[in-house]
Amino acid sequence: MPHFIIEYTSNIKSAAHIPALLEKANKILISKSPTFPIGGIRSRAIELEDYYIADGQADDAFVHATLKIGSGRSEQVKAAVCDELFTMMKDHFKELYDQRYFALSMELYEFSEAGTYKWNNIHGRFKKNNR
């Protein structure tokens, strides 16, 4: 962990530059190592074809991000990474925001490690490289 997941409306796909957004998110999360082990970082996007926004009368769009992390980080650490991610997202989507009706949101989801199952040999690659 962490996992950075965005949902975005299909009406912005051509202008949203989603792969670049995911790369930026990973760079921020990698910069927080060892707080977030590099081998556990995942970013992904889900394009939404079916959605209804507000009164449905305009070509509204939205992006919603969820940052999922395991418990155990301080409130200060959580706030700092969320602030940095959300600032990056606002910068990334500034042009869209200025050109159309657009809503951007993000939430932090912190969970207990109890009940999670993991099988990951990616971590070993970073331990070998002292990262």
Which residues participate in catalysis according to the annotation?
A: 2
96 alpha-carbon distance from chain centroid: 18
Local structure of 76: helix, strand or coil: helix
- Whole-angstrom distance, CA of residue 39 vs CA of residue 37: 6
CB 72 within 8 A of CB 1: no
30 alpha-carbon distance from chain centroid: 13
Could you give the C-alpha distances from 105 to 55, 112, 114, 119, in angstroms and in order?
A: 19, 23, 28, 31
Q: Are strands 61-70 and 102-111 parallel, antiparallel or unpaired?
A: parallel
